[in-house]
A and B are shown apart, each in its own frame.
Chain A
Amino acid sequence: MGSWFARSRSIPYLLKRNISFLHANSSCKTLPPYKSPHGFRERPPASILSFRRLESAMVGKQAQAVAYTDDDGESQSIEFPGGRVGFTTQMEFISEATDKRVPCYRVLDDDGFPIAGTRFDQLDEETAVRMYKSMVSLQIMDTIFYEAQRQGRLSFYLTSTGEEAINIATAAALSPDDIILPQYREPGILLWRGFSIEEFASQCFGTKDGHGKGRQMPIHYGSKDLNFITVSSPIATQLPQAAGVAYSLKMDGKEACAVAFTGDGGTSEGDFHAAMNFAAVMEAPVLFICRNNGWAISTPVSEQFRSDGVVVKGQAYGIRSIRVDGNDALAVYSAIRAARMMVVREQKPVLVEALTYRVGHHSTSDDSTKYRSVKEIEQWKRSRNPMTRFRNWVQANGWWSDQEEAELRGTLRNQVLKAIQVAEKAEKPCLGDLFSDVYDKLPSNLQQQEKSLRQTITRHKQDFPPDVPL
């Protein structure tokens, strides 16, 4: 971190490094080389501004008192707390917006064909097919569980429709040792790591087989074995916690990182600011992934922030960032692999903004047609579908066929339906689970309460609900 600051100390130095980018084509022809410490790109517009600043500084040279010259003898700069900074006689405000928005890294075009000249991490057949099958599993699971809630069999559900690529491609690009701190639209990662449909159903129905002992509302999955920290309802609390987990990993010297997810709405929370700032200062190996899907329940991004999305916020904290097409599984895979490598090798945070669209409603408690047009939703569902794009690429490679598709969908549908039927009828957690895990050891007051409750049950058997196993 120290060396990064030294390079950015003075504007002409920054300029020198930017010269190569000034006239660079802003299309995504070059994959940022993640092996090199200079694996990130400056945005061309910023360096144009700094060029202008240098000119005016040189003009005003004679009039200004010189405090220091730096080692290159190139400009005048002053020492302030925080480092040396060049000065200028031109009062110029940094614009609130740049001419062009930060471009988005993409590999596949709208139809699923690789864009000419694009570079990406090549996938082998096994991984690609596994990824596609997982995306289909996620989609089918979402559809059927959502229907189950609508039928009154579940109290609540939340889909990841439209974000299957982010879910699965990210999971595939990470290592199983990486600790995930999800928001709530990332069950695909659990799916990839081996959480079964039956386990998802058990958690949603609160059965005794669920790992959660019936403590959580649906979709609040968690698995210590799969390194997936339980979903927590308050928004963005997982972000500073990720910095803490990363700090622990760093202390342990493990070759793994913490991966924290948030949506576009979550970046408005105070915890987002604290987490980004802290992770940068502590040099904690956290990979922040923002799923910018355009909507936070009914709040569109235009009402969430006025910045160019979330990617530009990285630089404000001294964190490297990249914007990627979240509906492009290959782009997400390559970008996350690169970002993770940087995080683990350089032990510093990285921010990835994945642009996507929330095709489904926020949750079963929401009807999004009330605040957005059905036409908009349909357009994203049909013509910008991440699964269709990836499927076309996989099929074009000869690794998948329509027949396999039909078979897979049929099998999965049956599996999910059966899982729901089984979970619905399964036994609920027993009475003891009401009292355990409040503390590490069952405290005396809860022991007494349990004893008193059991005595009451014995005395008033007729009042006791039949579906609570003792």
Chain B
Amino acid sequence: MLGVLRSKVAFRANHAWGLEQGLRAIASRAFSSSTKETMTVRDALNSALDEEMSADPKVFVMGEEVGEYQGAYKITKGLLDKYGPERVLDTPITEAGFAGIGVGSAYYGLKPVVEFMTFNFSMQAIDHIINSAAKSNYMSAGQISVPIVFRGPNGAAAGVGAQHSQCYAAWFSAIPGLKVLTPYSSEDARGLLKAAIRDPDPVVFLENELLYGESFPVSAEVLDSSFCLPIGKAKIEREGKDVTITAFSKMVGYALQAADILAKDGISAEVINLRSIRPLDRAAINASVRKTNRLVTVEEGFPQHGVGAEICASVLEDSFEYLDAAVERISGADVPMPYAANLERMAVPQVEDIVRAAKRTCYRSAALAATA
């Protein structure tokens, strides 16, 4: 309950407010909040697509199985019936092909939403994403803009092995010209997908398969069809004063769980849901670190050149004097994802890893525990 109220306050993008002020603000507005509506991330994405397609006839959806099959993960359910085959295109199996076609149609003024069945398959189209979509506006001196959205599940699922489990946030976020978004909750999913579709720049929208079925509370504001979240702004999911934990996508849930465990040990953790990896909300991260003086970055992806590395660099550059401890990076193991369930568990960050890292930054554990 408290978490829900906090998230409403944070949505106002003013994370410096204390809980008391937040409560007063809520009480002063007439919220019909007697029944807490919840929505799955899947429905959030589906409704966002539906509303944006309805509002702008130039928006269309393209990908494998998005039409007749209702979407490999049912994200595009019902869209074919509602908008017809000209706006919901089932494509042949060629990521390079349909990414190229999407970019071409965006060159000429349509607004494609291209679905990759998972972002692992986006590697077969990566030339179109980087060399054509990301760089075109710059290389054509502003003559060719590419208002395209590439979306799909990213990162580890459960028991799908190495070629289906890689996280691409760090790779795509290295490219100037792209925007990279990583929603966590249903509110994130709705707001960020709408923002992505409306944005004139190419956006890589990294979802998470395991989050599709999770339900989150949504306010009336979130359900409104004009709802939109700003790109490049992180969200303080939970306020704290002892250690900052940054996370994105599924790891936000783990970080929140870790924060609960830490609270019992008297450590108040501030959890930042990054929401946007490029542009990264360096201001929010640094402001938080200046408050707590300790940082743990969490991500599912490979450790080298990961998102955590960039956050560490940013904090070192801007808030070096404020750090009371070395930054801890929690990431996936530096191995291709194994299949066996026990090994897979060892290769992905778990809540306990985050808890131990936070404790290390607070000098609560004797030595660096031998984590996986």
Are B86 and A251 interface neighbours, CB within 8 A? Answer: yes
Q: How far is the CB of A185 from chain B (nearest CB, A)?
A: 19
Q: Hey, which chain A residues are within 8 Å of B101, CB to CB?
A: 240-241, 243-244, 247, 275, 278, 282
CA distance A84 to B1 in the complex (A): 63
| CB of A211 closer than 8 Å to a CB of B | yes
Q: How far is the CB of A194 from chain B (nearest CB, A)?
A: 16
Closest residue of chain B to A225, judged by CB? B143
CA distance A229 to B146 in the complex (A): 13
CA distance A439 to B232 in the complex (A): 13
Are A245 and B139 interface neighbours, CB within 8 A? Answer: no
Q: How far is the CB of B89 from chain A (nearest CB, A)?
A: 8
Q: Mark A417-445, 1 if CB is under 8 A from B, else 0.
A: 00000000000000001001111100111
CA distance A289 to B105 in the complex (A): 19
* A241-B132, A248-B110 known; A215 vs B104 contact (CB < 8 Å): no
| CB of A270 closer than 8 Å to a CB of B | yes
Q: Mark A218-246, 1 if CB is under 8 A from B, else 0.
A: 00101110000110111001111111111
| CB of B266 closer than 8 Å to a CB of A | no
Q: Mark B185-201, 1 if CB is under 8 A from A, else 0.
A: 00000000000000111
CA distance A271 to B100 in the complex (A): 8
CA distance A275 to B105 in the complex (A): 13
CA distance A277 to B101 in the complex (A): 12
Are B97 and A222 interface neighbours, CB within 8 A? Answer: no
Q: How far is the CB of B315 from chain A (nearest CB, A)?
A: 15
Q: How far is the CB of A159 from chain B (nearest CB, A)?
A: 22
| CB of A171 closer than 8 Å to a CB of B | no
Interface size on A, residues (CB 8 A): 49
Q: Which residue of B97, B103, B109 contacts A274 across the interface (Cβ within 8 Å)? A: B97
| CB of B38 closer than 8 Å to a CB of A | no
Q: How far is the CB of A268 from chain B (nearest CB, A)?
A: 13
Closest residue of chain B to A217, judged by CB? B139
Are B200 and A440 interface neighbours, CB within 8 A? Answer: yes
* A248-B110, A251-B110, A271-B97 known; A215 vs B105 contact (CB < 8 Å): no
| CB of B141 closer than 8 Å to a CB of A | yes
| CB of B165 closer than 8 Å to a CB of A | no
Q: Hey, which chain B residues are within 8 Å of A246, CB to CB?
A: 104
CB proximity to B under 8 Å, residues A163-202: 179, 181
CB proximity to A under 8 Å, residues B282-309: 282
Q: How far is the CB of A53 from chain B (nearest CB, A)?
A: 29
CA distance A436 to B99 in the complex (A): 25
Are B137 and A440 interface neighbours, CB within 8 A? Answer: yes
Are A212 and B104 interface neighbours, CB within 8 A? Answer: no
Are B97 and A275 interface neighbours, CB within 8 A? Answer: yes
Are A234 and B141 interface neighbours, CB within 8 A? Answer: no
CB proximity to A under 8 Å, residues B96-148: 96-110, 112, 127-128, 131-132, 136-145
Q: Hey, which chain A residues are within 8 Å of B279, CB to CB?
A: 443-445
Interface size on B, residues (CB 8 A): 44
Are A438 and B100 interface neighbours, CB within 8 A? Answer: no
Q: How far is the CB of A17 from chain B (nearest CB, A)?
A: 29
CA distance A246 to B101 in the complex (A): 9
Closest residue of chain B to A244, judged by CB? B104
| CB of A329 closer than 8 Å to a CB of B | no
CA distance A436 to B176 in the complex (A): 11
Are B104 and A241 interface neighbours, CB within 8 A? Answer: yes
Q: Which residue of A179, A237, A437 contacts B141 across the interface (Cβ within 8 Å)? A: A437
| CB of A281 closer than 8 Å to a CB of B | yes
Q: Hey, which chain B residues are within 8 Å of A436, CB to CB?
A: 142
Are A224 and B143 interface neighbours, CB within 8 A? Answer: yes
CA distance A436 to B94 in the complex (A): 33
* A245-B104, A248-B109, A278-B101 known; A437 vs B94 contact (CB < 8 Å): no
Closest residue of chain A to B108, judged by CB? A248
Q: Hey, which chain A residues are within 8 Å of B200, CB to CB?
A: 440
Q: Which residue of B100, B107, B112, B199 contacts A275 across the interface (Cβ within 8 Å)? A: B100
Are A237 and B128 interface neighbours, CB within 8 A? Answer: yes
Q: How far is the CB of A195 from chain B (nearest CB, A)?
A: 13
Q: Which of B99, B101, B127, B140 has the most CB of A within 10 A?
A: B101
CB proximity to A under 8 Å, residues B222-236: 232
Q: How far is the CB of A434 from chain B (nearest CB, A)?
A: 10
Q: Hey, which chain A residues are within 8 Å of B96, CB to CB?
A: 240, 270-271, 274
| CB of B91 closer than 8 Å to a CB of A | yes
Are B100 and A274 interface neighbours, CB within 8 A? Answer: yes
Q: Which residue of A216, A258, A439 contacts B201 across the interface (Cβ within 8 Å)? A: A439
A interface residues with partner B (beta carbon < 8 Å): 179, 181, 211-213, 215-216, 220, 222-224, 229-230, 232-234, 237-249, 251, 258, 270-271, 273-275, 277-278, 281-282, 433, 436-440, 443-445
B interface residues with partner A (beta carbon < 8 Å): 86, 89, 91-92, 94, 96-110, 112, 127-128, 131-132, 136-145, 176-177, 179, 199-201, 232, 279, 282
